[in-house]
Amino acid sequence: MEIISLLWNEIILNPMQNGLVLLYAFTGQNFGITIIIFTIVVRLITLPLTLKQVRSTKKMSELQPRMAALQRRYGKDRARLSQETMRLYKEAGVNPLGCLGPMVIQLPIWIGLYISITSLLPLRPEDLAKLAGHLYGWLPIVNEVIPLDSRFLWLDLAVPDPSPILAIMVGLSMWVLQKMSTPAAGDPRQQSTNRMLLWMLPVMFAFFTISLPSGLPLYWMISNIIGIVIQYFVTGLTGLWPLFPKQPATAPAVVGVGEAVQTDDQPPASEESAHEEQAGTRGDQRQNGRRGDRSRAQRARRRTRGSHNRGR
């Protein structure tokens, strides 16, 4: 555990705290502006992963009609459905786990920022002694600006916002981002899950805002706004409200090798209907064969009668 704590301090916490203090010194000693600039820097660093996530989500939304066709065709065979789904993802170049990258990176940033805010904006004077152990001695400027001013607009960034304004802004910005980035689902169960997450996550983060130092919810809100801007430039306003509904693609579904291609406009045929169709085809062939035999017999009788008449 000591090794993990040491690595955490040296790789994440100490660089984050000293970087925040350095930004604070060069931004007019305004910690709110410092958090905003820090959020922009983090978003720029993770931009390639974010763009990959947004594009992967967009491709998955476009694949929903083909996914729905596979659900109808192999709904009773879960193993075959999983196999065909993964094959469809591979052909389309979609990684269903690609959306987890930014979330995995954001988690240690949230934890580190929370610890940094409580350390850099201590509520008790004796906590400043603990902060001294995390500041770089070879960087004099970070020691000169301590203690930091925690006031920003109506907020005290060291304590929770006493008004509901920040909680509402965090919840609303997260709802908009979730609404824009959630792919359209053809499966009713997936639709139900998406609707639940659409409301559960914003309400949960808004609830956390009530009890956390307002510097961290400020980071969440700015990060959500930047995410909304990125999402807009990739997918536009599609899916944000009924005026801009998601338009699923109409591409045919990809099925197994040697099997017929099934489209959304054509319902999948059941095995019974396929047997009936084959039986009907064989019946038509036999009936056509009998008709052909009768026609040949009639032509043969006509030729025989004609030869007898010429003989007479």
Three-state secondary structure string covering 266-281: CCCCCHHHHHHHHHHH
Structure tokens at 176: 């908009």
Query: Measured between alpha carbons, how far is 116 from 20 in angstroms, rounded to an integer?
Result: 8
Task: Assess whether the previous peptide bond of 147 is cis (omega < 30° from 0).
Answer: yes
pLDDT band at residue 165 using 50, 70 and 90 as cut-offs = very high
pLDDT of residue 257: 39
3-state class (DSSP) for residue 96: coil
Residue with tokens 């910690």: 31
Residue type, 154: W
**133-150 mean pLDDT:** 83
pLDDT of residue 127: 73
pLDDT of residue 219: 93
Structure tokens at 23: 């930004």
3-state class (DSSP) for residue 44: helix
CA 30 to chain CA centroid, Å, is 35
Residue 33 has pLDDT above 90, yes or no: yes
**119-146 mean pLDDT:** 80
3-state class (DSSP) for residue 287: helix
Q: How many CA atoms lie within 13 A of 34 on its CB side?
A: 28
Q: Per-residue pLDDT tens for 70-96?
A: 777 777 777 777 777 778 777 777 766
**204-222 mean pLDDT:** 91
pLDDT of residue 36: 94
